[in-house]
Chains A and B, each alone.
Chain A
């Protein structure tokens, strides 16, 4: 079974632009979570989607948004990019997202650089 895939793998943008990142979960997985990883803050939870609905949200500004499609694929968008948004953005999928038995599997990430 194919793993979680993320596109693009690398991205360079300039301040003020917006960016859209894509995540395809493992087949059959309906929950998709997004994380941001920076050297200073580590891995931080952004939000989670299940059945096309945002079910949980981390402490990030409204510039960070996402959505999920009926096939469980998810996108996240960052508007008005700031230098501090440079990070590795990780997507993880699980069957249902609930229940501590429901393991999350991560994709390889998208490395975003904001100049």
Chain B
């Protein structure tokens, strides 16, 4: 599975958009980008995933660059409850149920 690189930590003002970057320069054509977040000591929560097109759901938007070497998770209006560790994961199509987590980005939303 492709390796991902994320900043260790980021801050965001409440009500503003939070843009979380992820680098996956070795991604293959059959690998999806997944985002999860983990609020302190809870189980990771699925946010969104995509292959090559931009995706949006009720939680967030995922922007994947045309060369697919990086992506950005966007939380459009961050709230204090969005404070969490955000994980960017690249997952191979057809792989078994195994996710490889990196260290993630700790997002601190401040009032």
Contact = CB atoms under 8 A, between A and B. Distances in A.
Q: Say if A and B assemble together.
A: yes
Interface string B58-94: 0000000000000000000000000000010001111
B94 to A, nearest CB: 6
Main secondary structure of the interface of B (DSSP, over half): loop
Given A35-B101, A100-B34, 12 more contacts: A33-B99, A45-B100, A50-B97, A56-B96, A56-B97, A92-B99, A101-B93, A102-B97, A103-B34, A104-B46, A107-B43, A108-B43
Given A42-B101, A45-B99, A55-B97, A100 B43 contact: no
Interface in A57-115: 58, 88, 90, 92, 94, 97-109, 111
Nearest to B49: A103
A11 interface: no
Contacts, number: 81
Main secondary structure of the interface of A (DSSP, over half): strand
Contacts of B43: 4, 90, 92, 106-109
Contact of B42 (A32, A42, A108): A108
A24 interface: no
B44 A33 contact: no
Instruction: Please name the 9 residue pairs, one residue from A and one from B, whose CB atoms are nearest each other, closest first.
Output: A97-B97, A106-B43, A100-B32, A43-B101, A100-B93, A56-B96, A48-B97, A33-B97, A31-B97
Interface residues of A, number: 32
Nearest to A34: B97
Interface string B29-61: 011101010000111111001010000000000
